[in-house]
């Protein structure tokens, strides 16, 4: 165990985590140069396309130090985006130390601070690393000052490196061995292993990633999953290289995988404890804090007969994404589906794309909403995340919506435009402090519904990419909320309803009406699209009908002849309107989510 080190790389988005992981893998010679490509650990197409890490990935690095001693370094690469912070917390639970990367040009940003606190909660050894020192804009002295002031770490012990150019990689390896403590544990005790990830393989069943704290596990052992109290026989154990590498056993302190022919997906739970059936633990390990979904949206299959395949796909996907939750739901417009919970809008996008690509699902998602609380006059309190279950307005005594503490890091010159944007979105109690003379930290109490939609994109736009933000849930506060229904030819489309603050009801309803006007096909009769609060119409757009020129054959005579033909046409259109149904195309449900700039 003295030769093992378990560590993670944590940082803000785009500070070079995946690039540093690539250099570490290259340095120990795990991959041949002809097979090398950027983002080696990001094995999803989505990660390669977007240039971001979505899933934490593990790799075991064999490293020989200057004294000739061989070490096994288990690296867990983590995402940087705020929506995937639950992946970071799970990775940290398996480690004894972390490399905290800071960009030499950008300095300390929002997720740098958030990830540092997450690492300190797990009592990890932190090694600050200043990356991208090869950039022309690099200001190492300023970044060292920020590490001291904002992170409270000793900047003299910070390592300097350039992951892109491969500078300082040897020093990083030596620091990992010297500063990060080896894992503690007793190989002779009862087996206790923590599941920190899992995924489904159609040939081998569920493959479980775990960290062994005590005891050891080998093929042939009968293991027990403590949460569901089920037993399985282990078929194979091993460690993560760039592929799975089989071993005879996994012992205390090691990070690896186990395969036990697990076909029943519901038996596995991330955060569960694995122990031996013949010599079980008295109580399970602490596990992880349950992630709290912030954004809710309904998911429906495009074809009704694909519902059963969607059920299967969601169960397999849930195994690999512990923060995703779902329950059955139905809609008059879209049929049977699921109400799903996500950590943010990017998380929602990624889930949708992964289900479409990896599980071959064709989906419709409804407009995202957050969780509202309503105190009724009867004294009962109801929590609602789906506009379909909005209570009768006459019975509501008080409505509450979730507020979050939003922290924004940015250059001081953007303070005016960012404050204007936050106050426009009902931000309160603004506080700011200058972390350095040029950089500012701004915090607001702001409704979650206001930042869920397109806040992050707007912030990046107005700060020219220099702004970064992080948020944490505060509480629910009283608010003037209304439910807006969308009507097409006087019929409600339940999948398009939404709950919103009264001040924003008309602009949002107008936006949706205009979008639907563009998407719904013209008919032989007039189609009216309306937004309404109860019986009060607040927005409207009209889709004009196709019209045949019935007066073309009238080339003279009295005007009453023309009028008679037009009246006859009008009566026909009214009759058609009564029996004609309006088909709303599938892409219309998606288009209402997009802003004008999209």
66 annotated among ligand-binding-site residues:
no
* Four-point Cα dihedral 135, 140, 142, 147, nearest 10: 120
Give me Rg for the CA atoms of the chain.
Answer: 29
**CB-CB contact of 258 with 234 (8 Å):** yes
573 annotated among ligand-binding-site residues:
no
328 annotated among ligand-binding-site residues:
no
132 annotated among ligand-binding-site residues:
yes
Q: How far is CA 149 from the centre of its chain?
A: 30
**CB-CB contact of 501 with 534 (8 Å):** no
17 annotated among ligand-binding-site residues:
yes
**CB-CB contact of 456 with 343 (8 Å):** no
Q: Which two tokens stand for residue 536?
A: 């009060």
Q: How far is CA 73 from the centre of its chain?
A: 29
Q: Please provide residue 97's backbone torsions phi and psi, each rounded to the nearest 5 degrees.
A: -155, 170
131 annotated among ligand-binding-site residues:
yes
**CB-CB contact of 400 with 424 (8 Å):** no
- For β-strands 70-77 and 4-10, DSSP reports them as parallel
Closest alpha carbon to 82 in 112, 40, 103: 112
Beta strands (DSSP E) in 148-191 are 159-160
Closest alpha carbon to 573 in 551, 549, 546, 553: 546
The CA distance from 369 to 346, in Å, is 14
133 annotated among ligand-binding-site residues:
yes
Q: At what angle do helices 17-27 and 169-179 cross, to 10 degrees?
A: 90
65 annotated among ligand-binding-site residues:
no
Beta bridge partners of 592: none
Buried b (16+ CB within 10 A) or exposed e, 364-373: bbbbbbbbbb
Within 10 Å of residue 384's Cβ, how many Cβ atoms? 20
Beta bridge partners of 144: none
The CA distance from 124 to 5, in Å, is 12
Closest alpha carbon to 107 in 145, 160, 157: 145
The SS3 call for residue 104 is coil
The CA distance from 407 to 445, in Å, is 9
User: Per-residue DSSP letters for 427-449?
Assistant: -EEEEEEESSSSEEEEEEEEEHH
The SS3 call for residue 195 is strand
15 annotated among ligand-binding-site residues:
yes
- For β-strands 255-259 and 222-225, DSSP reports them as unpaired
19 annotated among ligand-binding-site residues:
yes
The CA distance from 143 to 146, in Å, is 5
The CA distance from 329 to 593, in Å, is 20
**CB-CB contact of 192 with 253 (8 Å):** no
Report the binding-site residues.
14-19, 131-134
Report the binding-site residues for GTP.
14-19, 131-134
């Amino acid at each position: 165990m003295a030769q093992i080190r378990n560590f993670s790389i944590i940082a803000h988005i785009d500070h070079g985590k995946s690039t540093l992981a690539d250099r570490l893998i290259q340095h120990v010679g795990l991959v041949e140069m002809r097979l090398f490509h950027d983002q080696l650990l990001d094995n999803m197409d989505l990660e390669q396309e977007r240039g971001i890490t979505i899933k934490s990935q593990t790799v075991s690095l064999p490293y020989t130090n200057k004294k000739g001693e061989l070490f096994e370094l288990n690296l867990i690469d983590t995402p940087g985006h705020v929506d995937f912070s639950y992946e970071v917390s799970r990775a940290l639970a398996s480690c004894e130390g972390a490399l905290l990367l800071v960009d030499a040009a950008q300095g300390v940003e929002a997720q740098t601070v958030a990830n540092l606190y997450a690492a300190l909660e797990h009592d990890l050894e932190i090694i600050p690393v200043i990356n991208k020192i090869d950039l022309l804009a690099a200001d190492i002295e300023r970044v060292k000052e920020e590490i001291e002031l904002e992170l409270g770490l000793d900047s003299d012990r910070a390592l300097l490196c350039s992951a892109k150019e491969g500078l300082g990689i040897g020093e990083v390896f030596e620091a990992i061995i010297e500063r990060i403590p080896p894992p503690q544990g007793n190989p002779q005790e009862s087996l206790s292993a923590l599941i920190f990830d899992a995924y489904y393989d159609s040939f081998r069943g569920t493959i479980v990633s775990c960290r062994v704290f005590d005891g050891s596990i080998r093929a042939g052992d009968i293991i027990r999953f403590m949460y569901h109290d089920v037993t399985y026989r282990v078929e194979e154990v091993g460690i993560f290289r760039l592929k799975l590498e089989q071993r005879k056993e996994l012992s205390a302190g090691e990070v690896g995988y186990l395969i036990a022919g697990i076909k029943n997906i519901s038996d596995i739970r991330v955060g569960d404890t694995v122990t031996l059936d013949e010599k079980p633990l008295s109580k399970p390990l602490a596990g992880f804090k349950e992630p709290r979904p912030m954004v809710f949206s309904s998911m429906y299959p495009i074809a009704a007969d694909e519902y059963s395949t969607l059920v299967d796909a969601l169960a397999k996907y849930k195994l690999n994404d512990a923060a995703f939750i779902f329950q059955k739901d139905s809609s008059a417009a879209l049929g049977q589906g699921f109400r799903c919970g996500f950590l943010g809008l990017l998380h929602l996008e990624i889930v949708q794309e992964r289900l479409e690509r990896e599980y071959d699902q064709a989906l419709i998602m409804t407009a995202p909403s957050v969780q509202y609380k309503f105190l009724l006059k009867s004294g009962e309190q109801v929590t609602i995340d789906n506009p379909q279950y909005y209570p009768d307005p006459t019975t509501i005594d008080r409505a509450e919506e979730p507020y979050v503490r939003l922290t924004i890091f940015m250059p001081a010159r953007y303070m005016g435009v960012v404050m204007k944007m936050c106050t426009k979105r009902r931000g309160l109690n603004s506080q700011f402090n200058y972390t350095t003379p040029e950089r500012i930290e701004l915090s607001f109490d702001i409704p979650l519904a206001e930042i869920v939609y397109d806040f992050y994109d707007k912030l990046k736009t107005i700060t020219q990419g220099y702004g970064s933000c992080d948020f944490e849930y505060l509480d629910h506060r009283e608010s003037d909320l209304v439910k807006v229904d969308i009507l097409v030819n006087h019929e409600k489309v339940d999948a398009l309803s939404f709950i919103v603050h009264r001040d924003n009801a008309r602009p949002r309803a107008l936006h949706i009406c205009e979008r639907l006007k563009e998407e719904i096909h013209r008919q032989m009769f007039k189609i009216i699209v309306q937004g309404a609060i109860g019986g009060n119409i607040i927005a409207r757009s009209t889709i004009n009908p196709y019209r045949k020129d019935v007066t073309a054959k009238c080339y003279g005579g009295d005007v009453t002849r023309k009028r008679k033909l037009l009246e006859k046409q009008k009566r026909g259109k009214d009759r058609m309107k009564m029996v004609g149904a309006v088909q709303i195309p599938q892409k219309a449900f998606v288009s209402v989510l997009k802003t004008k700039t999209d």
